[in-house]
Amino acid sequence: MREKNKFKLSAAYFFLAPALITIFIFFLLPVIAALLMSFTDFDIYSLGNIGYAQFVGLKNYIDIFNDPLFWTSLKNTFYFVIVGGPLSILVSLAAALLINSKLIQFKSFFRIVYFIPVVTTLVAVSVLWRFIYHPKFGILNYLLGFIGIHGIDWLGNPQFAMPAIILMAVWKNFGYNMIIFIAGLQNIPEDLYEAASLEGASAWNQFKNITLPMLAPTTLFVGIITMIGYFQLFAEPYIMTQGGPLNSTLSIVLYMYQEGFRWWNMGYSAALAFILFFIILIVSLIQLKIQKESYI
Amino acid sequence: MKRSLLYIILIITAILCLLPFVWMISASLMTTGEANVFPPKFFPSKITFSQYQNLFSRLNIARYFINSIVVSVGITVISLFVNSMAGFAFAKYRFSGQKNLFKLLLSFMIIPAQVTMLPLFLMLKYMGLINSYMAVIIPGIASVFGIFLIRQYLIAIPDSLIEAARMDGASDFQIYFSVILPLAKPILITLAIFSFMGAWNDFLWPLIAMTNDSMYTLPVALASLMGEHNQDTELMMAGSVVTIMPILLVFLALQKYYIKGIMMGGIKE
Amino acid sequence: MSKVKNIFLQLVLYFIILSSAFIELSCSGHSSNKILINFWSMGAEAEHVQKLTKEFEKLNPNIEVKVQAMPWTAAHEKLITAYASETTPDIVQMGNTWIPEFVALNSLDSLNSFIDNSKVVQSQNYFPGIWKTNFIGKKLYGIPWYVDTRVLFYRSDILKKVGYPEPPKNWNELYDASKKIRKLYGSEQKYAFFIPTNEWAPFIIFGMQAGADLLKDDNSYGNFSDSKFETAFEYLMKFYKEKLAPIDWMQVSNVFQAFASGFFAMYITGPWNVAEFKNRLPKNLQNDWMTAPLPAYDDQKYPGLSLAGGSSLSMFKSCKHKNAAWKLIEFLSEKENQIEFYHLSTDLPAVIDAWQDSTLKNDKYLKAFYEQLQNVIPMPKVPEWEQIVSAKVQQYAEYGARGKVSPEKALKMLDQDVDKILEKRRWILNKEKKQI
């Protein structure tokens, strides 16, 4: 063991202080305050006169569980996460395998091109896709027309609105996970494949028995960050559909935003935020557990 | 045979990635109404910059552009210092509770930022900071992900370098400033791009914290334009181009560092 | 050690300078000795009113007016946010349906003492229905600046084709004309009447025409499932069901193009669209569209009721220079300036005398508005009104239009949600009662 204590401890605290203090004041305190707030009926009246706020116990949570809009938003969010998440990851993995293939040149060119949607501003992309999805004048329906699909009202039909948002999200995000998968693929020792080839294993078998298991930790990581990100769906419906049609794209965060910062029902909104937090926590734990059990 | 099939798939995917942007740029150069026709046009019949003129002369987009720059640069510069110092402390010092503290910080990453937003808004309001650049910069200063990246990078740097500097009589801060920071340059660039892009593209928090339209950042301004001008496809496309272009150029210039950073963040232990 | 200290101090200094620069930039300190009046206005109005405020500044060299624009669609949200973040301006262009909300929040100043001594602002100068919207009890909180109400915009050529040389005068005619227009198109995807569910106005208007009280019990409970409102709601739902109105309003990304192409032939909307339609519709169509007062529930009542809308000028309590602010309100209420503002913005003047202006009088599209303004009423004056209509009425209008639930069920659910929204209001009313 190297003797590190001879570095002055006070220096360590000095270096840590700015980060820890800002995290404490501007992150941890608000989290605690939000928890407290979720047990009150803090609203627009209370902003002007704190006497109009009162402690209401679990009322907000009970109201939320009786609120059909909450269940709609929960359902929509899960739809987005459960369909969009795996779909994104699959496309990312496929793209990573393609680019990583030994037969391919210009790898870095394709990597950059696939990555461009990732870096571009989500709001601008949502604005752009709103026009792309236009049922009459949008280029998507025009192109689909060539293969005999006509007149899908992407954002206007409650059945297609969420798939449309998922499609855009996959297009926008697959590049990010693709990079992580490429890194994961490059970390798989080459001799594993050589040995398998010698034994005459087919490409599919190699993929199934070497690539997939070796990628498991990467997939776990990718799965968790993708899911956490997807649970926070907001800008896409905010820009493209305002949560409609028929609330079919109302996400939890959008609902929280509307309740909190549009109608200033801050207690209710804080409770929604905490429910989102607990859902993310639980789903992350489940994911960790499942993957641990199946691979290790 | 197999190779050409792979290339075809790759090229089609590349086209799908780029086509929306091509249409966006092209539509931004059309006259008003030209993008709302069937069949859709992929190229303007006559290139016009009137949409851009409109954005800059009437819709004040230069102001939003400056706001975005100030906020993004502010977050990037300050967070680089704050996070590199903390990352350095975690990588090269031993103090009691260090491991647990680091784990605790990492666990914060699972708390969605939305949880903090309501109290944070009230807090900044009482501090009189709503509608100031600080309202957006402060919550973006310390990032657990940034601290994590720097720590991972610095752990690999041999302690002997630090000890040598100490022998020469350098203080802790000098070591940080003149040994660690230069050594960590690649990861600092990576982190800088991350912070800059994150700040530039961020939407929800600036939407909440900037209630005065002279303080809007580009994404917030674009969303508010969308409410007023959703009839004007061409104008909205021009606005999108202005919003996207800077970040795209930054990415293309520094993409190596960025992609490396994602790979580092992705492979844990 | 001193070296480190130096670097550190420099760093700290740098941070402080940087942050104070940011804060200063964002507050943009006001240096001159003039009185500064912050005036928030909406969309195009903000752009146009600056020409008037320049004149005002010339007349009052010690006052400076800073006009700031809020986009229309986000104006309510922005005002509430400004209240929440304590960044309200001095004077504001206030949608007159929002006044109760800001009064309830105790953020507007009553203007009674000002008009008592004013030669310019007198109640008889204004349309009665509009004037009333600015009162909460006996207190006046806004001076009408320009007025707005909804009328029927229609394609006269299409209506003529189906035997309506005159626009529909009552509900039956409106429905009948719509059916005939629909018939004209056969299987073509075109409609008669555009009632987008993201605009609550028609639903409220038809409800009020049918005689519905929208809220009950001292405005503390919803009353939408009452039979009168139900009549109106079911009447409108018929248009969606029989494909006389497009359900998906998003399909109409450009109202002007859609109106020009005959995608719909009738649309209930406000005066701002007169100028827009004049500018944006193709030239050859300019003789083929017209405006008319709203059809009524039955013939005797023509023209039917419409909303008393528009914008008032209100003063926030936070205003530091009330007399200067009032001066500006008075200035904008003078007949000449009302006329000039109409010329600049085409917003309809609130001062009745200003309607004598020749361009206004000769505009054939504006006649309908003048007639309609004689028959407008305010909406329930509860602070939660904006949330009730723009969140809930629209939501359930959409539910009904798309057939997700029956109209009856939709209204039941609407009442439930409205009751929930008004819960805090009931609590506060109770609390206040106990105090008295």
How many cross-chain Cβ pairs, A to B, lie less than 8 Å apart?
Answer: 279
Q: For chain A, list the contacting chains (3+ Cβ pairs, <8 Å).
A: B, C
For residues A8-24, give the mean pLDDT: 88
* pLDDT value at residue B266: 58
CA distance B182 to chain A (A): 17
Q: How confident is the model at residue A2 (pLDDT cuts 50, 70, 90)?
A: very low
How far, in Å, CA of C317 to CA of C106, rounded?
8
- Which 8-state DSSP code applies to residue C170? B
C210, pLDDT greater than 90: yes
* pLDDT value at residue B47: 92
Which of A6-20, A63-77, B35-49, C68-82 tops mean pLDDT?
A: A63-77
* pLDDT value at residue B268: 45
CA distance A199 to chain B (A): 23
pLDDT in tens, C312-335: 999 999 888 999 999 999 999 999
Using CB atoms, pick whichever of B125, B130, B133 lies closest to residue C25: B133
* pLDDT value at residue B24: 95
Helix B61-92 to helix B50-57 angle, to the nearest 10 degrees? 80
The answer, for C250 touching chain B at a CB cutoff of 8 Å, is no
- Residue A172: Cβ-neighbour burial (10 angstroms; 0-12, 13-18, 19+): buried
C435, pLDDT greater than 60: yes
Using CB atoms, pick whichever of A103, A142, A235 lies closest to residue B203: A235
Judge contact between C286 and C276, C-beta under 8 A: no
Q: Which of A92, A131, A234 to mutate to test the interface with B (most CBs of B within 10 A)?
A: A131
The answer, for C158 touching chain B at a CB cutoff of 8 Å, is no
pLDDT in tens, B35-82: 888 888 888 989 999 999 999 988 889 999 999 999 999 999 999 999
* pLDDT value at residue A296: 47
For residues B194-213, give the mean pLDDT: 91
* pLDDT value at residue B62: 92
How far, in Å, CA of C382 to CA of C388, rounded?
10
A6, pLDDT greater than 60: no
Can you read off the two tokens belonging to residue B220? Answer: 């917030």
Q: How confident is the model at residue B9 (pLDDT cuts 50, 70, 90)?
A: very high
Q: How many alpha carbons lie under 13 Å from residue C147 in its C-beta half-sphere?
A: 35
Which of C33-37, C131-135, C153-157 tops mean pLDDT?
A: C153-157
Helix (H, G, I), strand (E, B) or coil at C247: coil
* B73 contacts: CB under 8 Å, gap ≥ 6: B196
Cβ <8 Å between C26 and B133: yes
Domains of chain A, earliest start first: 1-37 (no CATH), 66-295 (1.10.3720.10)
pLDDT in tens, C200-209: 999 999 999 9
Cβ <8 Å between A49 and C106: yes
- Closest by CA to C168, choosing from B27, C70, C179, is C179
A232, pLDDT greater than 60: yes
Domain B57-266 in this protein, CATH class: mainly alpha
* pLDDT value at residue C228: 94
Cβ <8 Å between C71 and B231: no
How far, in Å, CA of C329 to CA of C93, rounded?
10
The answer, for B46 touching chain A at a CB cutoff of 8 Å, is no
**ipTM for this prediction:** 0.91
Helix (H) or strand (E) holding C55: helix C43-59
CA distance B66 to chain C (A): 11
CA distance B24 to chain A (A): 7
Question: Among A69-73, B214-218, C14-18, C233-237, which is the least confidently predicted range?
Answer: C14-18
* pLDDT value at residue C15: 54
How far, in Å, CA of B220 to CA of B203, rounded?
6
How many cross-chain Cβ pairs, A to C, lie less than 8 Å apart?
Answer: 60
For residues C239-255, give the mean pLDDT: 83
Chain A hits for B24, CB-CB cut-off 8 Å, are: 128
- Which 8-state DSSP code applies to residue C65? E
Tell me which CATH code domain C35-148+308-373 carries. Answer: 3.40.190.10
Instruction: Look over chain A and give the mean of its residue pLDDT values, rounded to a whole number.
Output: 90
Cβ <8 Å between C22 and B213: no
Instruction: Look over chain C and give the mean of its residue pLDDT values, rounded to a whole number.
Output: 87
* pLDDT value at residue A35: 96
C105, pLDDT greater than 90: no
Q: Which of B80, B120, B131, B180 to mutate to test the interface with C (most CBs of C within 10 A)?
A: B131
The answer, for B206 touching chain C at a CB cutoff of 8 Å, is no
| Minimal-distance CA residue of chain B relative to C281 | B33
C2, pLDDT greater than 80: no
C265, pLDDT greater than 90: yes
How far, in Å, CA of A113 to CA of B10, rounded?
10
Can you read off the two tokens belonging to residue C381? Answer: 């004056």
Chain B hits for C85, CB-CB cut-off 8 Å, are: 121, 125, 130-131, 211
% pLDDT > 90, chain C: 54
Helix (H) or strand (E) holding A100: helix A85-100
Put simply, whether the predicted model's pTM sits higher than 0.90 gets the answer no
Q: How confident is the model at residue C436 (pLDDT cuts 50, 70, 90)?
A: low
For residues A237-263, give the mean pLDDT: 92
- Which 8-state DSSP code applies to residue C33? S
The answer, for A45 touching chain B at a CB cutoff of 8 Å, is no
Domain C151-307+380-431 has CATH 3.40.190.10: yes
pLDDT in tens, B100-150: 999 999 989 889 999 999 999 999 988 888 889 999 999 999 999 899 989
Cβ <8 Å between A137 and C253: yes
* pLDDT value at residue C1: 44
Chain B hits for C80, CB-CB cut-off 8 Å, are: none
- Which 8-state DSSP code applies to residue C36? E
Cβ <8 Å between A179 and B259: yes
Chain A hits for B118, CB-CB cut-off 8 Å, are: 30, 34, 37, 260, 266, 269-270, 273
A180, pLDDT greater than 50: yes
Taking the domains of chain B in order of start, what are their residue ranges? 1-48, 57-266
Taking the alpha carbons of A216, A218, A220, A223 in that order, is the dihedral positive or negative?
A: negative
* Helix intervals (H) in C286-406: 322-333, 335-345, 358-362, 367-373, 385-387, 394-401
Question: Among B22-26, B96-100, B112-116, which is the least confidently predicted range?
Answer: B96-100
How far, in Å, CA of A76 to CA of A281, rounded?
18
Q: How confident is the model at residue C39 (pLDDT cuts 50, 70, 90)?
A: very high
Can you read off the two tokens belonging to residue C422? Answer: 């008004």
Question: Among B143-147, C212-216, C299-303, which is the least confidently predicted range?
Answer: C299-303
For residues C12-20, give the mean pLDDT: 53
